[in-house]
Structure 1
Amino acid sequence: MCLGVPLKVVEIRENNTALVDMGGPTLEISTIFTPEVKVGDYVLVHAGFSISILSEEEASDIFSALEEIEK
């Protein structure tokens, strides 16, 4: 099974890439599948690609579910 992780976009870069916040460190991801993404958006990231844009509520729900799995 593969999981996508919700992360917040903190910077849009050239060549269809963006920086996302990982709770401290940042990660450069490809936005080739979500070219309309903006700073402040939450994206679902899998294998270094943003695969969808999430609402803040959707991101929060996924964070909560992942926390439950860790217990």
Structure 2
Amino acid sequence: MIDVKTLSDRIDVLETRLTFQDETIETLNKTITEQWLKIDALTRQVASLSERLLEAEANAPGAANEPPPHY
């Protein structure tokens, strides 16, 4: 039969692992949240730059597909 000391040691090991896992999960959660915020900011920046590029292309003098004047 397993004695009380062995069971107590096993419980201590499991509690230590659980505490470590909880800390790891919290750290990962913070990291993912920070990355999500950065991705969101970059996505908005890319959308803004795309709009600016479309405006610049629309306001550019002459059509981009016109052949040069020597043709």
TM-score category by the smaller chain? under 0.3
More strand by share: 1
Q: Which fold has the larger relative contact order, with Cα–Cα distance below 8 Å and residues 6 or more apart in sequence?
A: 1
- Normalising to structure 1: TM-score of the pair? 0.24
Structure number with the higher helix fraction is: 2
